[in-house]
Amino acid sequence: MFHCNRLLHFTNKATIGTNDFQRITMKKASHISLSLSVFVTATFVTADAYATHSWANYHWGRTTNPLPLELGDNVAANWDANLTLAASDWNISDMLDTAVVAGKSNPRTCKPTSGRAEICNAKYGNTGWLGIAQIWISGDHITQGVVKLNDTYFNTTKYNTNAWRNLVTCQEIGHIFGLGHQDENFSNPPLGTCMDYTDPDPTPNQHPNQHDYDMLAEIYTHLDSVNSYILSDGTDGGGKGGGKGGKGKPLDIDWNNPSEWGRRVSEHIYERDLGNGNKVMTDVFWVEGRGNSHNR
């Protein structure tokens, strides 16, 4: 996928002295003109895919930037490299300063911890989903989140590759920050971002791209009066009402079970109302063939 900064870079490289330009043959000049024409066409074709892709207005409350969100490592050793890579990729954003820390959850249940995200993998069964991201919302603030990676499918030949693991880990963690998808049409060419729908080859879409970082900047440029994150040392900079969003809510809900996810908002998003301005949003990465048109 082309970006305007790449065009500027190309233009700068193509800007040469007058004498040098006169030595360019008409054939080469026409090739340059054709390349620019193709670029402009591609830019307009993909404009829709580059539209805003925030997940509603959901974001972590914080009084300063960057967001120092902790990602609890509840994954097995064969997932550690994928989790580390995803955290490193997302930290390229000036808005984020995530840290992979010791997990606090049983991978099988992967219950949330206030003020942070827990990342888990387990054999969750033939649920139909490769991965899910769940965020607990108080108002517009994310107060806690979980990512679950389903080894029932990742242990199969189709999905047992680093490319698939990188894509799903990166995308589900992206949802934890409040990002949606850049493109949900499987027929479109890959955008080179993990926030893109991909099938059958995940190779081009294993990492965030610049548009994801730009979107994070748009989401997190403003500051809040409270922090909804809580660090392992107990500091939160005044996170009252943020990280405590799940307090008093039922903890015996089987969040692995789609029947507990609440109202189906779209092919891949569910909303469970917890009352008093609190809810749980679930974004589902369906396996191929589940639901309509590769439902996600």
Given this structure, which CATH class describes domain 53-286?
Answer: alpha beta
User: CA angle, 216 as apex, 212 and 218 as ends, to 5°?
Assistant: 115
Instruction: Give which of 199, 205, 207 is closest to 290, Cα–Cα.
Output: 199
Stated pTM of the model: 0.79
pLDDT in tens, 184-242: 877 788 899 999 987 789 999 999 999 999 999 999 999 999 999 999 998 875 444 43
Q: What are phi and psi of 274, to 5 degrees?
A: -100, 0
pLDDT in tens, 16-56: 344 444 443 433 444 444 343 433 334 434 444 455 899 99
Distance CA 205, CA 169 (A): 11
Handedness of CA 260, 264, 269, 273 (dihedral sign): negative
